[in-house]
Amino acid sequence: MKNNSQTTAEQHNITIWEIKKDRLTAMQHKLFDTPKLLSVAAGRTTCSIFKVPQTLVDVNGKSYQPHIISVGPFHHGKAQLEMIEEHKWRFLRQLLDRTKAKGIVLEDYLRAVQPLEVMARECYSETIPYSTDEFIEMMVLDGCFIIELFRKFGEVVEVDEHDPLIKMSWIVSFFLRDLIRLENQIPFFVLECLFELTKTPRSPTLASLTLGFFNLVVQRPENVLKKYANIKAKHLLDLLRLTFLPPELEKSTKQENRPPPHVIHNISKLRRAGIKLKPHEAESFLVISFKNGVIHMPTITIDDFMSAFLLNVVAFEQCHSGCSTHFTTYVTLLDCLINTSRDVGYLCDWNIIENYFGTDAEAATLINNMGKDISFDIDECYLARLFDNVNHHYHSGWHVQWASLKYTYFNSPWSFLSALAAFLLLILTIAQTAYTILGYVRPP
């Protein structure tokens, strides 16, 4: 019996060891596995197209996902995007019909993009599961569709008067939003490669066509668009973002006896301290200044397009390692100024915001959600000096008390009349008391 027990124990130990050995082998294989959901290349500056972090998706819902058109691999093949997928082949056929006169056929498009495959794959934060042939086909099809779309709206090529993608306004509005979603991009150098292969001698630049298309909704002056006719970008979202960046501002310097900068109060509190907001003309709504108790801000239109643009460009700045944080700073400023629908109402009254998004409460919720779960360094942001100066003005003594007094007693005609009546009553009471005392001190 003793020998049998020893044998059983030995067999048990061997079984355990085999299990451990299998587990050890599996662990050793995992040591050399390459991360797929967030590739090692995602931290490089060459990576520019990201899956939006789940924390932002949880706050802002489907603002990062395309609604009618898929561009690139992240949303490729989804059923709800099949409608436009069919029209991509129609646009490609029309392009081929034009270029065949120059001897350029479909095979030439594929050959032109093939050398860019490795570099294009490295632009995505996830490992792309498609084969070389599938990936190149996707780049060519999506890239040619975007270029043809821009040419049609730029009236560079002939447009079918009954083309539903051009004539149906609801489709156009979704194109404008879907083409600036961070997850819905292809590298700009792929677009440039296809554009150079298919352009005509007198064609505008690709950047000009792109900005002309988005100007359907942004509506900036023609001279601004010409200024960025040859701008280089990482993708369409980045291109539009770059055209809004303000010129280099003077960097904030630490002043003696000043605490480090902090975020500012909402506009309801600032106005009680005498701080006002005034609109001013500028090429970009990011150009903001503070002087003599007044924050000067260009007017911004808050609508479906601008909300999608701000959300996606902030996500891009959060993910891209070599990117400035201008839009993150701007969104943080709006989030500071606005806490409630009343704050939105003040900014609308002062022409800082044109609200086409919904009610004041809906606009307040949108702006507050933009500022949630984002990384922000107030010491390094381009508005650090503004935050510092506004806070210093807010806490600086007598003028704040005087502004609060004016806000309380002179904010409306009725409050002024009430304050005046109380003041006259006080004067009369003092006069009556003085005459009474004089009657006792110096009787007649």
Q: What's the CA gap between 3 and 24, in Å, rounded? A: 31
Q: Which residues contact 389 (CB under 8 A, 6 or more apart)?
A: 290
Q: Can you spell out the DSSP letters for 288-332?
A: -EEETTEEEE--EEESHHHHHHHHHHHHHHHH-TT---HHHHHHH
Q: How high is the pLDDT of residue 252? A: 46
* Six token digits for residue 391: 């806070």
Residuewise pLDDT in 10s, the chain (444 residues): 455 665 665 655 656 666 677 777 777 777 767 777 777 777 788 899 999 999 999 999 889 999 999 999 999 999 999 999 999 999 999 999 999 988 999 999 999 999 999 999 999 999 999 999 999 999 999 999 999 999 999 999 988 889 999 999 999 999 999 999 999 999 999 999 999 999 988 889 999 999 999 999 999 998 888 999 999 999 999 999 999 998 865 444 445 455 566 889 999 999 988 899 999 999 999 999 999 899 999 999 999 999 999 999 999 999 998 899 999 999 999 999 999 999 999 999 999 999 999 999 999 999 999 999 999 888 889 999 999 999 988 887 555 554 454 545 555 565 556 666 666 777 777 777 777 777 676 666
| Torsion, CA 121, CA 125, CA 127, CA 128, rounded to 10 | -50
Q: How high is the pLDDT of residue 71? A: 97
Q: What's the CA gap between 322 and 232, in Å, rounded? A: 15
Three-state secondary structure string covering 88-117: HHHHHHHHHHHHHHHCCCHHHHHHHHHHHH
CA atoms within 13 A on the CB side of 79: 0
Phi, psi for 295 (deg, rounded to 5)? -90, 120
Closest residue by Cα to residue 187 from 236, 223, 220, 148: 236
> Which helix (H) or strand (E) is 430 found in, with range?
helix 413-441
In Å, how far from its chain's centre is CA 323?
13
Cβ pair 164, 129 in contact under 8 A: no
Cβ pair 251, 265 in contact under 8 A: no
